[in-house]
Chain A
Amino acid sequence: MKTHPLQRALFVALVIALILCCFLAPYAWIVSSSFKNQLTLFNDVTPLSWKAFFPVEGTLENYRTLFERTNVLRALLNTAIVAGGQVALTLLLCAMAAYSLTRIRFPGAKIVFVMILLTFLLPIEALMVPLYQVVSGLGLSNTLLGIMIPWIASPFGLFLLKQAFEELPVELEDAARIDGAGHVRIFFSIVLPNVKVPMLTLGLITFLFSWNSFLWPLVIVQDPAHQVIQVAIAQQGSPTQLPNWGETFAGATVATLPLILLFLLLQKYFTQGMTTSGIKG
């Protein structure tokens, strides 16, 4: 069975176009709608025209009101602080724990490891109510620290780094040890500089997770001054007065853009993090 090369090329082009349409069109629609006003927003959808995807008579009004009337800017800042803090603390704590588990032999290591292993399987969503009680019992409800603290001791992060640390040749540190270097120096000046890529990967995955998290911030923070962006744009959709839809689209665009940019810049590491975590085993 032989198909004509031109036919085949056409078919392939069609499939590629279809895939791109499915994945790109919703984004194009949302972004272009964020530049339209309430009255014309849906005029190009029924019947569908190409104008649905390009704001012909664009307006910045939605973005202006979004930033003036709502606390989106504050929420963006909060999210950046939470995500940044969570990345820094996760990297530090996971690396320290991974160092202990891979570079030092000590009694009880097995028990510690099994304990971490077990939490890997816990669905956090199921623990939401008691976790809320624990965190607010510590006086951390309505704080940015309260949003990030339950996720810092990440079993996923530990496994990722532990694997990287194990691949590191012991000879690297032997020389330093002969020079009389202690663990702290070996950790900071020899081990860490040699696991930059896994650290970057873990940092990105943690950032992604933190930036996009919704249920936990929704539960633990009620004060809008400490709200993160995902909750801010979700709540914007359902207060007493329905917002202008254009504003909702603008909010979605603002909440997504930073991550998309980060993803496009560092795509290799994102993909690597997601697959190495699963397959290489």
Chain B
Amino acid sequence: MKTRNLLLAGLLAATALGSSSVAHAQDAVACTGETVTLRILRTPGNYPYPAPMEGWQKENPCVQFEINEVPFAQLADTISVQAASSNPPDILVYDGPNTQSYAASGILLPLTKYLPEGWDEDILPATKTEHSYEGEVYSPGIEQTTVAMYYNKTLLEAAGIKPPQTLEKAWTWAEALEAFKACQQGPASSPTVWGLGPTRFGNGQPGLVYQDLIYQRSAGDPNADPSSSAYKTFWALSPDGKSVTGYLNTPEAVGALTFYRSLFNSEGVAPKVGIPNAFFDGKACFYIDTPAAGNALLKDPKFDWGITPIPHFKTPIVHTGSTTIGVAARSRNPDVAAKFVVDMSWGEYAYMNVSQRGNLPTLKSLFPRFEVYNGYPMKVFVDQLQEWGQPRPPGAKFAQYDKLVTDALRAVAFGGDPAELMGDAEKKVQRVLDR
């Protein structure tokens, strides 16, 4: 029937429009065998970067790439949806703490047997732990990162503040608060220059586990008796990853969170909602971010700046982790994809990938090649990573933990009751862990 043909043609046309384009490397060497296309899912501006990819393609001319980019905020949803689809990507760039969760769901391919000789000795132990699950390594890792506190020297000098530059002299949060208050300009809660600027992660609102769970963890003590609340406060999740009850709603955590809440409310030194580029526009005295911000400022110094270690209550702590790269278990070319991923994380290619954005490498052998990390200010990051670094509480349900605890921390920042909210978060996380 005529109309039916019309309909069919319409459907076909619409499908054709829906097909995607393939990215070719510009100077691919002639390929003699069968061509393999690897599909990569990553966030915009993330590795693998073009230079190492093109270099690798010269050695492997039969491999082509198709790149799909999604914003970081959508990354976890996208992976969960695409990994289960009929045509999953071959290579996933994902947030490191999800390794165990993805490995447990069977999304990731174990890469242990593809790793080069000497890898075990060269990799940072924290990275290896975070990227392993039940004895297998699922991601070799490319870069490692953490956060420190940047400051605007001009604004601070005007207020007569000189922050410490080494870990030994690091501020406590109480000292930091005095500095925030002294430097802030304008009325509390709606100043023209904020004491502590908002994050650039997520939608700019407070509460992210990566940045804000360290307040309460810092009030804990890893060397205390394992049954004590101080010990549990520090770890924020039981060692076997099966229990969170008594780990979030502790007296130590509530004390730290009461202070955290005051930053956004009674003291009014930090905003509750995001302000893009606040620190870079000179609208914040202090600002917490990764080395990426420092490297951007080194390239384009907008003003005099410095870095001070993250303040603490009792135990100094910073969270480690970054996005990382892995192979989808259901890839149609697992061997080629694994080779690519391992190559990108080793030797010269690893150097090329790490040096692009300016985070820290995961291979000890690469550290000497990054001169910028040998002296102040950027050395603070290396020191913090080595002395204070802890992964976010790992486990097969990290994504859910992350979401629920972030919601609770944000509610505290907005003025909620810490004990009530952490108690509620414990219940909700426990429900997920029990499933």
Contact = CB atoms under 8 A, between A and B. Distances in A.
B70 A222 contact: yes
Interface string A84-112: 01001100110010000000000000000
Interface in A56-110: 81, 85, 88-89, 92-93, 96
Contacts of B11: 145
B203 A237 contact: yes
Contacts of A38: 276-277, 281
Contacts of B202: 238
A144 interface: yes
A240 B85 contact: no
Interface string A21-51: 0000000000000000011000000100000
Interface in A141-171: 141-146, 148
Contacts of A241: 200, 276
Nearest to B278: A242
Nearest to B277: A38
A239 B70 CA distance: 9
Interface stretch (A1-9, A223-231, A253-261): A223-231
| Residues of A in contact with B, size category | 35 or more
B74 interface: yes
Given A38-B281, A244-B277, A222 B18 contact: no
Given A235-B71, A244-B276, A225 B203 contact: no
A245 interface: yes
Given A85-B10, A242-B203, A245-B276, A143 B15 contact: yes
A121 interface: no
B7 A89 contact: yes
Interface in B1-45: 1-3, 6-7, 10-11, 14-15, 17-21, 43-44
B81 A141 contact: yes
Contact of A240 (B7, B72, B277): B72
A148 B13 CA distance: 13
A75 B279 CA distance: 31
A241 B73 CA distance: 10
19 contacts: A38-B277, A46-B190, A140-B18, A145-B11, A145-B15, A145-B18, A146-B18, A148-B14, A222-B68, A222-B82, A223-B70, A225-B68, A226-B18, A235-B73, A240-B200, A241-B276, A242-B200, A242-B203, A244-B277
